[in-house]
Amino acid sequence: MDIVLLLFRQNLVMLIYLLIGYLMYKKGLLTVQGSGELGKLLLYVITPVVILNSYSRDFTPQMFTEILWSFAAAVLSLLLSMAVSTLVFKKRSAICQFGSSFSNAGFIGIPLVQMTLGEEAVFYVVSYVALLNILQWTFGVYSITRDPATVSIKRIVTNPVVLGLAGGLLLFFLPIPVPQLLRGVMGTLASMNGPIAMLVIGSYLAQMPLRELFTNGLTYLCCLMRLLVIPLMTIALLTLVPAEYMGIRLAVLIVASAPVGANVAIFAQLFHKDYTGAVRDICLSTVLSIASLPLIVGLANMVW
């Protein structure tokens, strides 16, 4: 139960960051343009650094085995999530299909893993975040547009997260020493991931009337799938991972149970879809995840 209480506490910390972002936007201290610039900072600098930082360690056969198991867990859980979301939302809402398929693994999942399981556990979920980004630019884009021409291989190859993973794997497999000074810089930047992400989501929340957040049935269904149904199915799926890798099970479960990913709003805006609905899904699921994530992890501890 210690991890459940710790996760709940860290969720409250994330909520405080969100409220700060909300108030900053309301007071004019954070604008739409400013939150967009913070989003770019997250995407192009902080998230790749988080990945590089997690892989800047000495290679061991045990760690290589853990990479393989964490990769397998990531593939299976993401396939499950996409399949269930497609079944439920394909004929109802492309935005909800995207939102329930892909969690906010990078901006919320990784900080929660880091704060509850420790810095070393981020190592287990990097492949999940990289795969999620690749699938967002392929399956995700297609599910929104229904047009194969919008899927761009160039965008995948040049994605900062994918480049960060490539660089991280080089650091891990090759004897490339990282100077202590650079390690310190990377660690500091990586620690900014959660706070800045929640400031941005708080600014999203401030852009819509609160009443509108709680009055849409599809948004509630999206949150139900993203926060409860898919995580419960993921608990069963992760029993395939040997019990000796409990850290991998818990880390992947946390990122797979995170709220709707912020990228759904970016894609909705990019392809002229329901941006307001996307922001509503992100904000409500983020607020509700404060209670749902500890509940899911607590249940997993009982089952496992």
Instruction: Express each pLDDT in 12-28 by its tens digit.
Output: 999 999 999 999 999 99
Q: What local confidence, expressed as pLDDT, does residue 151 receive?
A: 79
* pTM of the model as a whole: 0.90
C-beta atoms surrounding 261 within 10 Å: 29
**Which domains, and CATH codes, for the chain?**
2-303 (1.20.1530)
Instruction: Express each pLDDT in 137-175 by its tens digit.
Output: 899 888 888 888 777 788 788 888 888 888 988 888 887
Cα-trace Rg, the chain? 18
**What is each CA distance from 170 to 44, 133, 164, 196, 263, in whole angstroms?**
19, 20, 10, 28, 27
In the chain, % of residues over pLDDT 90: 49
Q: What local confidence, expressed as pLDDT, does residue 90 receive?
A: 87
> Greater confidence, 36 or 281?
281
**Beta carbons of 114 and 121 less than 8 angstroms apart:** yes
Instruction: Express each pLDDT in 64-110 by its tens digit.
Output: 899 999 999 999 999 999 999 999 998 889 999 999 999 999 889 99
In the chain, % of residues over pLDDT 70: 100
**Beta carbons of 223 and 288 less than 8 angstroms apart:** yes
Q: Which of 42-56, 134-148, 169-183, 249-263 has the highest mean pLDDT?
A: 249-263
What is the C-alpha to C-alpha distance for residues 164 and 181, in angstroms, rounded to an integer? 19
> Greater confidence, 270 or 38?
38
**Beta carbons of 140 and 101 less than 8 angstroms apart:** yes
pLDDT > 70? residue 1: no
Average pLDDT taken over every residue of the chain: 90
What is the C-alpha to C-alpha distance for residues 190 and 270, in angstroms, rounded to an integer? 27
What is the C-alpha to C-alpha distance for residues 240 and 234, in angstroms, rounded to an integer? 10
Hey, which bits of the chain come out as E strands?
Answer: none
Q: What band does 207 get if pLDDT is binned at 50, 70 and 90? A: confident
What is the C-alpha to C-alpha distance for residues 192 and 42, in angstroms, rounded to an integer? 9
The whole-number average pLDDT for the span 278-297 is 93
Hey, which bits of 71-121 come out as E strands?
Answer: none
Q: What local confidence, expressed as pLDDT, does residue 271 receive?
A: 83
pLDDT > 80? residue 296: yes
CA 174 to chain centre: 28
Q: Which two tokens stand for residue 209?
A: 């009337």
Q: What band does 183 get if pLDDT is binned at 50, 70 and 90? A: confident
Q: Residue 105: name the closest of 269, 289, 256 by CA.
A: 256
Q: What band does 55 get if pLDDT is binned at 50, 70 and 90? A: confident
